[in-house]
Amino acid sequence: MTTPPAPAIAIDLGFRFLRVARTSAEGTPELVDLSGTVRGEGLPTPAEIRGNREAALSLAYSKYCERFGTPGQVVLVVPPGGQAVAPEVAGMPRPRLLDTPHAVLALLRHAGTPIARRLLVCDLGASAAGVTECAVVGGAVAVAPAAPSPGADGGYGAAFDKAVLEGVGLPHDDPDVLRELGEGRAQNARRIEVTLDRMAAHPDRAADTVLHELAGQEITAELVFRALGRLTDGFDQALEGLPGAPATGPDPSRTPVIAVGGVARSRALLRHLTGRLGRPVPLPHGTDPALAAVFGAALVAGGHIDPADRYPHAVAVCVHRTVVGRPRDEELLISPPGTLEPGGATVFAEADGERLRVRTGPADGTGGREVRILVRAAGTGTAAPVGVVTIPPSGDGARFYVGVRLATDGTARLVLEPLDEPLDRGRPDAHTAGNRRPVQPPPTEFPLGVLPADPQPEARSAPPPDTQGART
């Protein structure tokens, strides 16, 4: 009798709820019912461990194991540009990290939802509001997140709830009160939507309208309308960090928008979002926006859809070569399209299956050499400058392998690995101590930041100056 493989699960460590999901036998993502789980929400995050990802992951994982045993694989949802190293939990398989945009787009791709080449994913959660530009190229998705809105008064959606609850003298961190607040909103969603519309048009007429009751207290339109400003202002602030975001009104180019996260349940906020960016793309099968990321990650964990998180564009470095005694500026391809994987191995420049050797210049005391890095869009060849890194001078004749790696936080590193020279270079003093190879220095890494999701043409077409490049 063959033992069935251990199930694969996805975990999303929310500020308010810890969500664990898996796929059913039919391949449909679903929340795992754990001890203490709130139906349709997940496991409440204890106030004392909010913001502590290791403690939160340990709690969610232990709750799962208590009921279902050890999973075979864990996919952990993280914010784009989130922590670079997965938290370590005893006994847990090393989790695969998948950022929110890739998880959400996995859900849409699995459902067959048409996806444009460029789109925006708005993650509106309890802790922060974030907007990420995504570019879909050749089956892969590149992301460029804007800086999230800074958490104020305990977060983003949490700050909104706090303002409402404090307005009626109720505690803002009581799980039962928060659950009742969410139920009241869900049961009175249409009433709240219509009343807030009236409130915006005629504040004096609708201010005293009771939207619903909570623990014996009346939640009025005026109270909710005032608190709503925390959500709209926070979203606008997050949008400001996105290059090319429209100042007012929907983007004329109508870049598709996807809104996820618990706060995306707010119809009033979605109206504000629609006014700035256009109406969001509907989630497949009416998926709750708070569950979109963990459901997409569950599909990836179960092997139902590829995460598409490899970087789809090529990365190159400007170099100088001497051909027939004459210097010539060229580009050296480091990583072809679709080869860089978050948390994966370094990709080195190669030719005919062998790594290329690069010389950075002699140690002449004049300072380091500036090396210019480019990204070329897959399929078009459009070049986008990533930046210039300064390589410290090295000894005469020193050579390196040059590569790029993509960290799990989505940022790239230029890697210079010292060349492992032959033992005998014809010098009488080479490795005299037992003819042992000296210890090689570790690779040197230079941060490049987040690689562009949709490379734009360079501002200048002239070749780079002689100071900007390595030598091959």
Report the chain's mean pLDDT, rounded to a whole number.
Answer: 83
Give 31-43 pLDDT, tens digit per residue: 999 999 888 899 9
> Which of 7-21, 368-382, 398-412, 423-437 is predicted most confidently?
7-21
pTM of this structure: 0.82
pLDDT value at residue 84: 56
pLDDT of residue 1: 44
∠ CA 264-11-287, nearest 5°, is 35
**What integer pLDDT is reported at residue 423 of this predicted model?**
41
Confidence of residue 207 (pLDDT cuts 50, 70, 90): confident
**Mean pLDDT calculated for residue range 92-121:** 93
Q: Report pLDDT for 73.
A: 93
The pLDDT of residue 382 is 82
**What CA–CA distance (Å, rounded) separates 207 from 222?**
4
Question: What is the percent of the chain with per-residue pLDDT over 90, rounded to a whole number?
Answer: 40
State the DSSP code for 64: H
Q: What are the chain's domains?
A: 1-113+281-309 (3.30.420.40), 115-279 (3.30.420.40), 314-421+438-471 (no CATH)
By mean pLDDT, which of 57-66, 249-258, 346-355 is the weakest? 249-258
Rounded to whole angstroms, how far apart are CA atoms 232 and 206?
20
Q: 318-338: per-residue pLDDT in tens?
A: 887 665 666 677 888 999 999
| Cα Dmax for the chain | 96
Using pLDDT thresholds of 50, 70 and 90, give the confidence band for residue 419: confident
At 13 the pLDDT is 94
Query: Is the distance from CB of 146 to CB of 239 less than 8 angstroms?
Result: yes
pLDDT for 166-191, tens place per residue?
999 999 888 888 888 988 888 998 89
18 pLDDT above the threshold of 50: yes
pLDDT given for residue 151 in this prediction: 53
Please report the pLDDT score of residue 426 as a whole number.
46
At residue 251, the pLDDT reads 53
Which is higher by pLDDT, 328 or 397? 328
Q: Is the pLDDT of residue 427 over 80?
A: no
pLDDT at 418 over 90: no
Q: Over 60: is that where the pLDDT of 471 sits?
A: no
| pLDDT tens per residue, range 221-270 | 999 999 998 899 999 988 887 765 555 555 555 789 999 999 999 988 99
**What pLDDT does residue 244 have?**
59
Whole-number pLDDT of residue 422: 47
Give Cβ neighbours of residue 235 (< 8 Å, ≥ 6 apart).
122, 124, 129, 149, 269, 272, 273, 276
List CB contacts of 310: < 8 A, sequence separation 6 or more: 140, 338, 339, 340, 341
